[in-house]
Amino acid sequence: MREIILIQVSGSDRPGLTAAFTRILARYRLNILDIGQAVIHDTLSLGILVETPPDAESSAVLKDLLFEAHKLNINVRFRPIDEDRYEEWVSGQGKDRHIITLLARKITAEQLSDVTATVADNGLNIDSIARLSGRVHLEGEALNEDSRACIEISVRGEPKDGEAMRAAFLSIANERNLDIAFQRDSAFRRNRRLVVFDMDSTLIRSEVIDELAMEAGVGEEVAEITERAMRGELDFNESFRARVALLKGLDEGALERVRERIQLTEGAQRLISTLRALGYRTAILSGGFTWFGQWLQQLLGIDYVYANELEIENGQVTGRVVGQIVNGQRKADLLKQIATQEGISLEQVIAVGDGANDLPMLGEAGLGIAFRAKPLVKQNAEQAISTLGLDGILYLIGVRDKDQAELLKSN
């Protein structure tokens, strides 16, 4: 008589354990219906769902498995599975799957408890949990820019109320100091091909126009206009022209002085290098200036740069820009243009930005990420990263720390 049995093995891990048990199953010609294995801190947890052929004697199989477990000092348990329950389980394989990614400097039990409770409240079933970040030493190291922690949770089903769940995740993220991403687990999630970035306060830590304004002695006036524009309170084109006009008469050497004090955003170099090693194309779509975008292009190996051309005559800034202003809609249009040129779908595009003028391109991309963004942008973007550097984006596409190390070494 055919039987379905769940075999659960646990104990101290060492080479050969899985081979020892599957060797016995092979001897009795059992079919493997499902299998899963995890090792946490040298402790093995192995589950094997087997089907015994009609002519097999299950008691003999279980006896041999018990003997092997005793010999290896391993625990083994058996649970018979009703065929109807099995078929019910199989029928669930067509359900949608989602990936929940937790990012923080350190993952705590409080964070995980709040997230998993929200998952349960929305009727989602957790299939697996995996750590993407590297192992952490205990030697009392203070949290810093090198501290990264990431857990990836695979869940099955559709949330009861997607908007309410997203709001709950946002509340947890703000209260518990972590980022929570919720993505459909599709083929596109694992096959992004293009990443487009805003420049100021995204790839670099500063707003270049504010730095130039300081050189021109109009810092406060320009900073006020910039902040209002980033909050979405002013039309970008109007505010941009007003800010550039205040730079009239600035000497060209000021651009080089500003460039010398620009700092890359945490994780920018690691992210771009890893993306290049994976074959991604990259672009800067910026409401800033091409002079700085092209410098970053050479420094980081960016493929495309679109920004505003600051007009300079006789060694001085004229207070005007040349050509079409790169505003929010222009960024979205350029994203689609590059995707078409590269022959990829919008679902394969990642867009990263921090300001209100980035929202159109974040909405066009298959994965839009608000990076250390203003509250308005964070609330309206699909995903947000505030606790880690730009290299946290790699976790959202499933790249583990050890994968990054291998790619950077080979590159």
Give the distance from CA 336 to its chain's centroid.
Answer: 21
Q: How far apart are CA 357 and CA 400, in angstroms?
A: 31
Which residue, chain included where needed, has tokens 């109009």?
218
Q: How far apart are CA 257 and CA 238, in angstroms?
A: 27
64 counts as catalytic: no
Exactly one of 198, 358, 391, 401 is catalytic; name it: 198
Structure tokens at 173: 């993220």
Exactly one of 200, 333, 358, 391 is catalytic; name it: 200
Terminal CA-to-CA distance of the chain, rounded, Å? Answer: 56
- In this structure, the number of other CB atoms found within 10 A of the CB of residue 266 comes to 18
Q: Among 410, 399, 400, 408, which Cα is nearest to 192's?
A: 399
CA atoms within 13 A on the CB side of 306: 20
200 counts as catalytic: yes
Q: How far apart are CA 221 and CA 209, in angstroms?
A: 11
Residues near 76 by beta carbon (within 8 Å), at least 6 away in sequence: 7, 8, 9, 21, 65, 66, 68, 69
Q: Among 54, 56, 76, which Cα is nearest to 65's?
A: 76
Residues near 77 by beta carbon (within 8 Å), at least 6 away in sequence: 7, 8
Q: How far apart are CA 363 and CA 381, in angstroms?
A: 7
Residues labelled as active-site residues: 198, 200
